């Protein structure tokens, strides 16, 4: 089922109008979700209660069901395992550094970084990677990727991570899956993260890092998007002989 997070700004306005609502209702819901991080209809006090219930039922189906949560670094690192609507599992890790009394980042600043997943499993088959050895179950939707950010942003805003209230400053697409193998959903999610509030999270693209094992045609396509994100290439070896063993796609696209 489609989620509000799956659509662009224009698409969300169109959806609201299809439900018989004026354009400003879409902006109100965007403001609650992206700017105020209010995911509970009880908090949408500028929207009539019957309409809140309709919006939640029609536009906000549950995406992430918590399975387990593990913490480390005095509560500054939170690893979450979620079950998606069809039963597949994905993980995300929220890491916070630089807050007094918590582990230092080495940069002298406070920052919170979310490592999120873009696929359930992975088809790249790298022998050292547990996710790759399990194979690919499916791509995540744009909404499922954005929902991981919404979850982490909510935890920080509510002060549920060690160090008190804060916000997600950096995103790394280094969790489960190969981002460039789920290109359209990943790019749509990045654009939602970078779109100014209240139409998105208003994050700086320079705070978003996409990691790839080296799908060269998709790297070239990404360059044409003119998004100033950071690209990280997982080399693991400096020569083709060893990299052919560690990174199977190297047999097609050499170092």
Encode pLDDT of 219-251 as tens digits: 999 999 999 999 999 999 999 999 999 999 999
Residue 104 has pLDDT above 80, yes or no: no
Model pTM score: 0.94
- How does residue 88 score in pLDDT terms, banded at 50, 70 and 90? very high
Residue 209's nearest CA partner among 193, 220, 196, 197 is: 193
Encode pLDDT of 110-144 as tens digits: 789 999 999 999 999 999 998 888 899 999 999 99
Residue 22 has pLDDT above 90, yes or no: yes
Residue 65 has pLDDT above 90, yes or no: yes
CA angle at residue 70 from 64 to 75, to 5 degrees?
Answer: 115
Mean pLDDT of 137-165: 96
């Amino acid at each position: 089922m489609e989620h509000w997070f799956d659509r662009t700004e224009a698409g969300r306005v169109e959806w609201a109008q299809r439900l018989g609502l004026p354009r400003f209702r879409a902006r109100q819901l965007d403001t609650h979700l992206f700017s105020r991080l209010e995911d509970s209809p009880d908090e949408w006090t500028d929207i009539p209660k019957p309409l809140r219930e309709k919006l939640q039922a029609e536009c906000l189906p549950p995406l992430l069901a918590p399975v387990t949560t593990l913490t480390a670094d005095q509560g500054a690192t939170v690893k979450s395992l979620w079950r998606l609507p069809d039963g597949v599992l994905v993980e995300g890790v929220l890491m916070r550094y630089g807050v007094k009394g918590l582990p230092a980042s080495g940069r002298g600043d406070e920052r919170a970084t979310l490592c999120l997943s873009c696929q359930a499993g992975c088809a790249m088959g790298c022998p050292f990677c547990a996710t790759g050895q399990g194979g690919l179950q499916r791509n995540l939707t744009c909404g499922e990727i954005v929902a991981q950010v919404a979850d982490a942003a909510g935890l920080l805003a509510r002060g549920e991570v060690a160090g008190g209230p804060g916000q997600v400053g950096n995103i790394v697409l280094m969790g489960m899956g190969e981002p460039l193998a789920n290109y359209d959903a990943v790019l749509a999610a990045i654009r939602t993260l970078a779109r100014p509030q209240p139409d998105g999270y208003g994050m700086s693209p320079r705070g978003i890092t996409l990691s790839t094992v080296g799908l060269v045609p998709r790297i070239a396509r990404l360059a044409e998007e003119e998004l100033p994100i950071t690209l990280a290439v997982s080399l693991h070896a400096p020569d083709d002989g060893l990299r052919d063993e560690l990174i199977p796609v190297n047999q097609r696209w050499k170092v």
